[in-house]
Structure 1
């Protein structure tokens, strides 16, 4: 699917994977609407072709309004692409010296990472389904973001792994549900990516993380996620797939 003269939505667009993806889509000719929380958008990069809309992905009304902004853009181009990058990753053990895992924290991580993804996918798919058909009945593609933690969850990642495992489990039924509308659904499961979250740790710690990656023995870059997203968009026969982007890394328990 070509991106020129189409519109796209990217969540978590203010930084990291989302910012890199929004920029890459715009560079390919898409009209991009970037969604993120208001506080995050204060430091979002200024990119030609990217318009930011303050949005909480867990709020159906806010998401519906943002989707309408993308679908009813001034250029009059059809909404065809969604890339869900919004997510959070606090860690906590099921049992620790502080007691049992806080249920509110668990629910919040599920709400943002899984329910937020589903919310955006569902409301955007409704608008994509109304666009004119392309070749073979195609209309668009949704790319969600999981994590290798969906498969190799570490100590303290019970909530995060649950949420990302849910995103993986959503993939095939979503692809099957939306097949009649010509909408593909795929997932990228990144390994350790050098995002702003990692910028808070020491260089020594980052080097230790990179040393555990078989090859290439380094951390992944957000632009590599964006590159993979572009490849999925372009490849019309990729559907219902979960693609690991991790340098063959399999996470140890700790």
Structure 2
């Protein structure tokens, strides 16, 4: 699927994986619309050419519909939707303060799983109404899980559950949307050097890198962005969750 001359929607686009993906897709000729929380959009650094940041909460319907209406009004066909928005608080099922806070668990699932589903369903609806390309494709949805979906560590119960849900949606969504010529693929990153990691000491970062089989370093956000572009270019990738982790298998802690 060609990206040049098309529109792409990227969530969590003010920083980290989303920002890298938005910039890379724009460099390939796509007109990119990045969604993030309004406060994150306001404080985001200067955006590259071809990227428009819009304030929106991915867990709410109307802001996402408004963004899709903006894309439609600008006239380029929406061919790609990438969900990178997510949160990763840590808490054990039972910890020193008692049982895991139920609202915290709900909140993580709401952002990571419900937010991903919300963007996917609305973007796919918009794609389904478009004319297909010469290969019969109308679009591609790329969602973000995590290797925690498969090997969640201590304290990751909410995060692991939410990301396992994202991975679990993949094949069903691909089957549901096949009739419209829309593919669905999920990426499950390992340890990525995002702004969230910047708060850790160099000793901690080096220790994390040492757990990766090869290459023995943290992944770069740009590598995630390149994988999104590869999936777009590779029309036969569909219904799959792809680990991007340097062969890392997470230990319990």
Give the shorter-chain TM-score range: over 0.9
Match of 1:165 in 2: 164
Mapped to 1, the partners of 2:248 and 2:124 lie a distance apart of 33
Match of 1:5 in 2: 5
> For structure 1, which runs of at least 5 residues remain unmatched after alignment?
none
Q: How does 1:72-221 map to 2 (within 5 A)?
A: 72-73=73-74, 76-221=75-220
**How much has 1:61 moved relative to structure 2?**
0.8
Please give the secondary structure, in 2, of the residue aligned with 1:188: strand
Mapped to 2, the partners of 1:72 and 1:188 lie a distance apart of 30
- Residues matched between the structures, number: 252
**How much has 1:137 moved relative to structure 2?**
1.6
Please give the secondary structure, in 2, of the residue aligned with 1:141: strand
State the TM-score, normalized to the length of structure 2: 0.98
> For structure 2, which runs of at least 5 residues remain unmatched after alignment?
none
After superposition, give the CA deviation of every residue in 1:154-210 in whole Å (9 maximum; x if it has no partner): 000000000000000000000000000000000000000000000011011000000
Mapped to 2, the partners of 1:68 and 1:233 lie a distance apart of 23
Match of 1:36 in 2: 36
State the TM-score, normalized to the length of structure 1: 0.98
Match of 1:223 in 2: 222
After superposition, give the CA deviation of every residue in 1:135-165 in whole Å (9 maximum; x if it has no partner): 3321110000000000000000000000000
Q: Which of structure 1's runs of 4+ aligned residues deviate more than 6 A?
A: none
